[in-house]
Amino acid sequence: MGSSFFEKASSVATVAGFGFYMAAFGLLGVLPWLMTDKIAPVQSGRQFEQRFLPAQVPLDFRGHYKDLAAYRDGLYLGKKVYIAEGCWHCHTQYVRPVGNEAARYGPVSENWEYQNEMNLPQLFGTRRVGPDLIREYNKHSTDWHIAHFRNPTDVVPESVMPSYDWFFNSDGSLNDRGWAIVAYVQWLGSWRELPANKKEQG
C-alpha cells in the first residue's frame, strides 16, 4: 500500500488538485454563469443605456454633468471610488427575501438587476456596518448625501462612518470624485423605475 493511488504525487496533483477544483469551477462558476445569462442576458452598450440609465441626466446632477455620456462616465468613476474607498466592506448591495429585509429596504434583489457591466466585479458585499444600498435611489436627497459624505454624524448622529474630506474642494463644493460617488449612490436601484424594466419585476 506504500504506493497506492491515493498517496501518489501524480494523483494528488491531477485528481485532488486540478480535477476537484475544476469540477467545483463548473458547478459554482460555469453553470450559474450560463443559467443567469439565460434568465437575463448581460446588458451592454445600447441595451445597458435603455435598461439602466435614465432618459436624461437627473435634475440634481445637471449642473455638473452636461449630457448623458458625461453622467454615465460619472457613474463609472463613482463605482471606482466606491471600490477604492472600501465602501463595499461595510455596505451590501442585495436585499434578501428573509429577515424582514423587504420591509426595511424595498423589493428583494433579482438576477436581471446585476446583469450589466456596472457589476464587473459584482458588489454584493458580505458585511453591513451600515445599511444595504441597492435601494438607495431617492431614499435621501442629494443634499443629504453631500452633507453625509462631508461629515456623517451631522445627519446621522449615531453613525460610525468616516468623513470623506477628499471628495470636496477647498471651498466646500464637491470635486469630481465627490460628484461621482453621490451620482453612483443615487443611481443604485433607480433602474426599477424605468419603463423598460417594469415587465421584469415579479
Partner 1 sequence: MTVQSTSPTAMPSDDVVNVTRVRWWLGAAFFWLFAAMLAGLIYSSQYLRMYVFPGIEYLSPGRVRVTHTSGVAFGFLVTSTLGLMEYVIPKLTQRPVLNQKVGWFAFFAWQAILVATVVGYLGFGQMQAIEWGETPVWIDPIVMVALVIVTANNILGPIFQHATKSGKGLYVSLWYFIAAFVWTGVNYFVGNFFPEYWVPGSAGASLTSMYIHDLVGLYVTPVGWGLMYYLVPVVLKKPVFSHNVSLLGFWALAFLYPLNGAHHYLHSPIPMWVQAMSVLASVGVHLVVYTVIYNFWQTLRQGGTDSYTKLPLRWFVAGAVSYLLTCMQCALHVTFTVQEHVHFTDWVVGHAHFVMFGTFSFFVFGFTVYLWPRVCGRTTWHSETANHYAFWLMAVGNLTMWLVLMIAGLIQGQSWKGLEPFTKSVTSSAPYWLARTFTGIAIFVGFSLMFWNMIQTARSREEAEYDPRTIPSPSPA
Ranges within 102-131 binding partner 1 (CB under 8 A): 103-104, 109-111, 113-117, 119-131
Question: What is the CA angle 125-197-123, rounded to 5?
Answer: 10
The site for partner 1, by CB under 8 A, has a size of: 80
Candidate ranges 62-70, 92-100, 179-187, 192-200; the one touching partner 1 (CB under 8 A): 92-100
**How many angstroms separate the CA atoms of 53 and 17, rounded?**
44
Which residues, numbered 54-83, are part of the site for partner 1 (CB under 8 A)?
A: 81, 83
Q: How would you classify residue 159: left for phi > 0, otherwise alpha for psi between -120 and 50, otherwise beta?
A: beta
Which residues, numbered 38-57, are part of the site for partner 1 (CB under 8 A)?
A: 42
Question: Which CB sits closer to partner 1, 53 or 58?
Answer: 53
The reply on whether position 100 binds partner 1 by CB under 8 A is yes
Among 106, 155, 159, 192, binds partner 1 (CB under 8 A): 159
Decide: 161 and 112 in contact? Cβ < 8 Å: no
Which one-letter amino acid corresponds to residue 101? E
Element (H, E) at 95: none
The answer to whether the Cα torsion of 32, 97, 190, 197 is positive or negative is positive
Candidate ranges 20-28, 70-78, 138-146, 185-193; the one touching partner 1 (CB under 8 A): 20-28
Question: Which CB sits closer to partner 1, 84 or 196?
Answer: 84
